[in-house]
Structure formats: C-alpha cells, structure tokens
Structure 1
Amino acid sequence: MQEKNLELVDKIMTALQGVEDPELLIDVVNLGLIYGIDIEGDHATIKMTLTIVGCPLSTYLQNAIEKAVLSVPEINKCDIKLVWYPVWNPERMTVAAKKQLGILDNEQALDQENKIEETEEKEKIIDFSVPIKKLAEEYPDFIQIMYDCGFTRIKIPGLLSTVGRVMTIPLGAQDMKIDLDKVKQAFEDKGYKVID
C-alpha cells in the first residue's frame, strides 16, 4: 500500500471513530465492525460487518459510515461492502468498549489491573526483532505508544492477528516512513529498554 493510501486509511479510521452505534453508544471502530479499507484513487471501499444479521440499524450505520468517509477531503466516492465472515463477536471489541458495556466484571477488571501492575514491576523490554502482535500481548500500553508514534493503523481490528504476526517495528516504520529513533525514544520515555 502506497504511503498516500496509508495516510488516507488513517484519516478514514479517525473519521469512523465519530460514527457511534446509537444503541450501544460506542463507535464502529472500537466495536470492531470495520474489517478493512481499500483505496483506489479517490474511491474508498469499507469492508464492515454488523453485530447481528438483520440488524435494524444496518441502513443507518452504512449511511453514517459513508458520510464520515466522504468527510475526508481526498475521498469522493465510498462503497460499503457488508461481510459476515469472520463472524463478529464481543472479543472483537477493544478493552475500552468492553468496559463501557460492562462486559468486564469487577473480577475481570481487577485481573487486568493486576496484569498491568505485574508488567510494570518487571523490566519492560522492547525487542525490535519480535513481531508486534507478541509485544502487544505482553505490554498493555504498547498499542497506544505505537499509535502515538504515528502507527495509527495498529488500531484497525484484525491487523495484529494478521500482519502483526510477522510485522516488526522496524519493518512497520520503514513502510510508514516513521523515524525509528523517534519510536525508540518514545518507548524509552515510558520506561522500556529497547533492543534493536
């Protein structure tokens, strides 16, 4: 994917975070409904799903998504491709969405807090040769640090479980034209030891 297209995907994902499911009051990105974005020139195709087949909000969400995508100045045409595989389930939601919906009970929330504390207590090491999926699973703040460095695609649902299994930080930085020293500094500022 060309650098220009990567930038457009980032802009579209940002715009889509403004589209909320009116029943759940959570945006379609955090719900995990966006499965992919393809761009050809000024034409975007959004691959998405719904929480249930026959969702009464299908037309509303598709119209809102199209409007959000067309709000990106470089995009003049938008198609919505509704897919049903992989089947959506609550595991596709971000932790923030699960908390907002009360899916994480007090015990689960406490477990997650304990994991975060345990991670903070042990030495945090970012090895640039390790795939980003593994680093994201090990360190709760990894995704946000990467996002803040400019890796905005890291929040696209499914990215970590697909490309993330083989993508390393240096490869991602090269692909997105992000300064690797800036990334290293960002992790060091958060108390990580970086091995490159």
Structure 2
Amino acid sequence: MTEEGQAETPEANGITDKVRTALRTVTDPELGINIVDLGLVYDVEVDDGSAKVTMTLTSPGCPAGGQILGGAKDAAESVDGVDEAVVSLVWKPFWTPERIDPKVRAMMGF
C-alpha cells in the first residue's frame, strides 16, 4: 500500500519484490544472516521511483547498525526503477528472535 492508502501499481509491486530480494544481500556481520531472513525488514514501499524501507536492528546498541542501514539503502537503490531509497529505523515493534524466518531459526537452534 502507498502512504495514501491506495494499492501499488503492478509495476511498483514488482519493483517492491525486487527491492526485498536485493535486501537479502545485506547481512548482519555478527550473525551472518541476511536482514530479511533475520526479520529486521518490516516493510518496503515503492512509489514513483522512490523506495521506503522500514526496518529495525537486533538492539539499539548494535555496533554494525550504520553498516546495515547503509547496506539496505545501497541495496534498494541498486534495483532498476528505484532512483532513491529512504531507510527508516524504528524500534516498535522491538525485534525478537521470533521474527527470524522459521527455517533459519530452526537451523540456528531456536
């Protein structure tokens, strides 16, 4: 959905999927898991060449926070059809291990 509450166009929806795929190239350097499977990415919206990624970090004191956020911005902007990406860092809902993809969580022993 766009900020105006209207559904994204099919083209924007396809770009949104590509942005999510690109975000999988960004890994948490401490855990070695991509930020999508780790459950850090809460939302991706694309509208007229602008992508908005809403995400969190595993903790407010995450030493790799800047690296992860910058990587998310670069990954989103690497997608054809995205001219600019804005990454918004949020703390609600707070990240917990339950947000990790179930398959990855099982491999980690959670």
Normalised TM-score (structure 1): 0.51
Q: Which has the higher helix share?
A: 1
Shift of 1:101: 2.2
* Match for residue 74 of structure 2 among 67, 71, 74: 67
Shift of 1:100: 3.1
Aligned to 1:59, what secondary structure does the other structure show?
A: helix
Give the distance between the partners of 2:40 and 2:11, measured in 1 at CA. 24
Tell me which residue corresponds to 1:83: 90
Give the distance between the partners of 1:102 and 1:20, measured in 2 at CA. 19
Tell me which residue corresponds to 2:104: 97
Counterpart residue type for residue 88 of structure 1: W
Counterpart residue type for residue 28 of structure 2: D
Instruction: Render the CA deviation track for 1:129-172: whole Å, top value 9, x for unaligned.
Output: xxxxxxxxxxxxxxxxxxxxxxxxxxxxxxxxxxxxxxxxxxxx
Query: Bigger relative contact order, structure 1 or 2, given CA contacts below 8 A and separation 6+?
Result: 2
- Would the aligned equivalents of 2:13 and 2:46 in 1 still touch at CA under 8 Å? no
Structure 2 unaligned residues grouped into runs of 5+? 1-7
Tell me which residue corresponds to 1:165: none
Give the distance between the partners of 2:106 and 2:27, measured in 1 at CA. 16
Percentage identity across paired residues of the two chains: 35
Larger Rg: 1
Aligned to 1:13, what secondary structure does the other structure show?
A: helix
Give the distance between the partners of 2:97 and 2:63, measured in 1 at CA. 18
After superposition, where does 1:156-171 map in structure 2 within 5 Å? Answer: none
Q: Which has the higher strand share?
A: 2
Give the distance between the partners of 2:85 and 2:74, measured in 1 at CA. 9
After superposition, where does 1:1-196 map in structure 2 within 5 Å? Answer: 1-103=8-110
Instruction: Render the CA deviation track for 1:63-111: whole Å, top value 9, x for unaligned.
Output: 11111111101111011100011111111111222123222xxxxxxxx
Normalised TM-score (structure 2): 0.88
